[in-house]
Structure 1
Amino acid sequence: MSKQEITALLQHYPLWQLDEERLRRVFRFERFPDSVQFVNQIAELAEEAHHHPNIAIENKRLVRVDLWTHKMDCITVRDAALADRLEQLFQTATGAVHVE
C-alpha cells in the first residue's frame, strides 16, 4: 500500500497506529477471559484469510495486534482487509471496552 492509502486507512480507523511500518491496534476488555476469547476469534479469522498477525495479551485485559505482510515486509491490502474484519469483530466481542 502507498503512504497515502495507509494514511487514509488510519483516518478511517483512528485507533490504529503506524508503528515501525506495521499497523498496530490495542483492544481493551473487561476481563482476561474476554481477551483470550477475542484472541481465539482473531486466530480463526487469520486462518480463514491465510494471513496471520502478531498478537499479544498485555496486562490481562489488553490485546495488541500488529499487522503487516511478512513475505513482503510491508503493509498490504491484506492487512487493511484484516484490520477491517477485526474492527467488525470487536464491535460484538464479549467484554469489549469501547473508547472514543
Structure 2
Amino acid sequence: MRENELWIHPEAAKTRGIQQGERVKVTDRKGRTEEIKAKVTPRIRKDTVFMVHGFGHFDQRMTTAYKQGGSDCNLASQAEDKRVGSTSMGLSLVKVAKA
C-alpha cells in the first residue's frame, strides 16, 4: 500500500458529493485536519469512516509513510478508554468533506 485511504460508505460519500479517489478533508473536534484520498466502499458502516494507521509522517526516515496519506494520530482523541487503559483510537469523532 503506497498511501492510505479514507474508507467511506457509498451513501455517506454521495451526500457529501465525494467520489472514489477524490481528496477529502477529515477534521476533528479541535479543528485539526488531514487530507486523504477517499475509498468509497460498502464494506464499512454508513456512520463510520476508517483509515489505516501509520501513514502521513513528516520524518524522512519513515520511507514508506513519509508524506503519504493522512495521519490518524493527528486526529485521535486523547480520551482514555478505561477498559484497556490507553487512548481510545476508535472513538475519534470527525467531519468529512471534499478537499
Q: Give the helix-richer structure, 1 or 2.
A: 1
- Calculate the TM-score normalised by the size of structure 2: 0.30
- Calculate the TM-score normalised by the size of structure 1: 0.30
